[in-house]
Amino acid sequence: MTDMRALLRFPGERRIAVTDCPVPALLPGTIMVRTEISVISTGTERQQADETKASLIRKAWQRPDLVALTIEKFRRDGALATINAVKGRLGRPMATGYASCGIVVAVAQDVTEFDIGQRVACAGLGHASHAEYNIVPRNLACSVPDAVTSEKATFATLYAIALHAVRQGELVIGHRVAVIGCGLIGQLVTQTAIAAGAIVTAIEPVPERRDMAMASGASNSYAEIRNAPADQFDAVLICTSGNETGTIIEAAARLCRDRGIIVCVGDITPKASRNILYRKEITIRQVRSYGPGRYDPNYEQLGQDYPIGHARWTVKRNMQAALALLKSGKLDPTPLVSQQIDLEDAADFLGSPSMMATVIRYQNVDNRPKAYKPAVQINTASDSTIRIGLIGAGNYMVSTLLPRLRQQEDTTIKAVVSQSCLSALAIRRQFPDATAFAAAEDILASPDIDTVFIATRHDSHADLACKALNAGKHVWLEKPLCVSREQLEALGKVAKQNSPQIFMVGHNRRFTPMAAMLKKHLPKGKIQFRYQVRPAPIPTDHWLNRQGQGGRTIGEISHFIDLISALAETELIRLQCDWIEREAGDSIWHLTFADGSRGEVSYLRPARKNTPKEVLEVSAPGFAAVMNDWRKLLINGTTILRKPLLTSPDKGHDDAIAAFLDTIKSGIHNPRIPGIDAEIHLMDQILGAASGDNQYGPA
């Protein structure tokens, strides 16, 4: 089913193409925009095109940080898991474009500042893409004045970069400014600096670009930096890219007056010999895209604005200022538009040289109504086949669950949903008969899907599970079951009304061969379990750290408590959490079982890089066992099981998925699947212990 057309990058295939993909789903704090026009930013997008078409070796050279992560995953998880992860990453299409203008066709309930039919300028990679429809967060969209054409308004994002550069240079009326590099961004910076009252000198080797800068009002122009006068400029704005040797910074410093400012607008390495910077006490500043708020998920994704007294010129305020200047005529991108093309021709222009800006027009897009939902069109499978819908298409689904589902007999992937659509599109390309959607409701409403696998962000788990159960689907839900008491109560009510379906949380550790072998050797009587978990660090801006996601500990701790409970085979009657540093997730969990057995899970940041993630020690009179990172199991000093170094450790995913699907096929309860009531009880204990509820012991 075709919902819209979009210009996408395919890193794994080293190509760029206009492709069919689903219309993305409206999210809280966003608007849906039907694109009228978008602009190709020649410098940034040409670089992205080059990266897309680069060989794997060149990609690795360009991104050593990703290479390091890949090596670490290979060391930790083995070759197969690493290959699946790399394939998943390279196979995922990527959006192109970050500046557009269009018409609002749908508005989230919590957004009040936009109306249906309103014209807006949009910003942001993944939000203002070269696509017929975009989902744009409220802080990355601005109303367009009637006097400003859509073609001009689509440049508001690029002018925001120029405005931020001018502010970083602290330009005022009468300042002398040198602009090095007069490509598209350099031209916009030149216009903006002149509008601010600065006297601009353009430095650019291409004669036509120098002429454009002079036509915009530059007072002088030079082909080379060395020809420009030294010690004359209050600020030098570098709008070119490439500077491995640091010569551009040194040349710019020569142009600066004493205590002048160098602003790096392009992709410039800010380095130079200390002496020239020291003698003039030069200030070097970076331009972080459109202004304050950029790359802050709280600002961009959650719509949390900065107080004007704290940050006068945010991304949105810069865009609004640009639109006001466009309205007044002080800024005008029209002379910079070198060509206008249709979306279908855009792939040929993205990586090709262009004098200036290429504008994409969207001619044949119908006006979707506010409540637009794509019709569900799924081919019916035979009754003997389990028909699966995937909700969530992130790294875990793509690299861990999907390769295993592919190996299962009598199953078929019928549909996939992801918020961005692009991850869903990547999976659909692997399963031609599958349908890609942007909303989970499209899968849940389909009578041709009987089973769903849910692997989304943690705050959505319980709600999606409730909807899936109410829709009569069998449910595989990745941990955690939920992140709050309210979600747990709602799930409990739904569970009482929907008993026939098979429900399983992805607690795969209890299904591992090592767990089965350990359980076989456990002695009778009281047992002591000591589980050390050292999770790998995640970035501070990772979604797991956002408010409302429950935190990483709540998201993962049920894995380890579930395993100990499965080994103990007796009721967990008391669970206590001692928080060491709650914000970081460092904690120690104490378990007491009905037969007197005890357990302890220490969930702590690793002390060093190569610390094993999981070590389980089991002790009893005359018995001792150690499981080391699912690679080695020793019982009473003898190695019982060992995984070769280059192979992936078996964490039970294959057996867990097989047990779930076999139960659906046979209708016979598998005792290794706890069921929804047991999972709810366990999560109730975890949430109680984490909050310090006396029922489960003091915090």
Is there a domain that residue 272 lies in?
yes
pLDDT above 80 for 688: yes
219 and 337 co-located in one domain: no
Arithmetic mean of pLDDT, 260-283: 91
Predicted pLDDT of residue 610? 76
Arithmetic mean of pLDDT, 563-569: 96
Domain boundary among 630, 651, 672: 651
Confidence band for 76, pLDDT divided at 50, 70 and 90: low
Lowest mean pLDDT among 20-34, 176-190, 357-371: 357-371
Please answer whether residues 225 and 203 qualify as being in contact, where contact means their C-beta atoms are separated by less than 8 angstroms: yes
Q: Give the whole-number percent of the chain exceeding pLDDT 70.
A: 87
516 and 638 co-located in one domain: yes
Cis bond before residue 649 (omega within 30° of 0): no
Closest CA relative to residue 249, chosen from 199, 286, 214: 286
**CB within 8 Å of 275: residues ≥ 6 apart:** none
**CB within 8 Å of 580: residues ≥ 6 apart:** 586, 587, 588, 604
Using CB atoms within 10 A of its CB, is residue 240 exposed (0-12), middle (13-18) or buried (19+)? buried
Please answer whether residues 43 and 184 qualify as being in contact, where contact means their C-beta atoms are separated by less than 8 angstroms: yes
11 and 115 co-located in one domain: yes
185 and 244 co-located in one domain: yes
- The domain that holds 460 is classified in CATH as 3.40.50.720
Predicted pLDDT of residue 699? 35
Residue 119 CA to residue 242 CA, distance in Å, equals 37
Please answer whether residues 449 and 443 qualify as being in contact, where contact means their C-beta atoms are separated by less than 8 angstroms: yes
What six digits make up the tokens of 552?
């990483």
Predicted pLDDT of residue 267? 86
Arithmetic mean of pLDDT, 436-442: 86
Please answer whether residues 318 and 163 qualify as being in contact, where contact means their C-beta atoms are separated by less than 8 angstroms: yes
Average confidence score pLDDT of the chain: 88
Residue 315 CA to residue 121 CA, distance in Å, equals 12
447 and 352 co-located in one domain: no
- The domain that holds 624 is classified in CATH as 3.30.360.10
Residue 33 CA to residue 368 CA, distance in Å, equals 10
50 and 27 co-located in one domain: yes
Is there a domain that residue 296 lies in?
no
Domain boundary among 286, 303, 322: 286
Is there a domain that residue 325 lies in?
no
Is there a domain that residue 666 lies in?
no
Is there a domain that residue 123 lies in?
yes
Predicted pLDDT of residue 7? 92
Number of domains in the chain: 4
Is there a domain that residue 88 lies in?
yes
Domain boundary among 268, 286, 304: 286
pLDDT above 60 for 59: no
pLDDT above 50 for 126: yes
Predicted pLDDT of residue 354? 59
Confidence band for 68, pLDDT divided at 50, 70 and 90: low
Is there a domain that residue 220 lies in?
yes
560 and 597 co-located in one domain: yes
pLDDT above 70 for 50: no
Q: What does the pLDDT look like over 499-555, one tens digit per residue?
A: 678 999 999 999 999 999 999 999 999 999 999 999 988 888 888 888 889 999 999
Q: What does the pLDDT look like over 357-370, one tens digit per residue?
A: 999 999 755 544 33
Please answer whether residues 616 and 635 qualify as being in contact, where contact means their C-beta atoms are separated by less than 8 angstroms: no
Give me the count of residues in the chain: 699
Please answer whether residues 263 and 168 qualify as being in contact, where contact means their C-beta atoms are separated by less than 8 angstroms: yes
501 and 557 co-located in one domain: no
pLDDT above 90 for 456: yes
Is there a domain that residue 327 lies in?
no
Residue 162 CA to residue 200 CA, distance in Å, equals 14
pLDDT above 50 for 133: yes
475 and 527 co-located in one domain: no
Arithmetic mean of pLDDT, 372-400: 71
Question: What's the domain range around 616?
Answer: 509-651
Look at strands 30-40 and 451-454 and give their pairing: unpaired
Other CB atoms closer than 10 Å to residue 403's CB: what's the count? Answer: 17
pLDDT above 80 for 433: yes
Confidence band for 61, pLDDT divided at 50, 70 and 90: very low
200 and 136 co-located in one domain: no
Residue 287 CA to residue 162 CA, distance in Å, equals 9
46 and 122 co-located in one domain: yes
Predicted pLDDT of residue 78? 64
Predicted pLDDT of residue 496? 85
Arithmetic mean of pLDDT, 291-301: 91
Q: Give the whole-number percent of the chain exceeding pLDDT 90.
A: 67
Q: What does the pLDDT look like over 390-413, one tens digit per residue?
A: 999 888 998 899 999 989 989 999
596 and 486 co-located in one domain: no
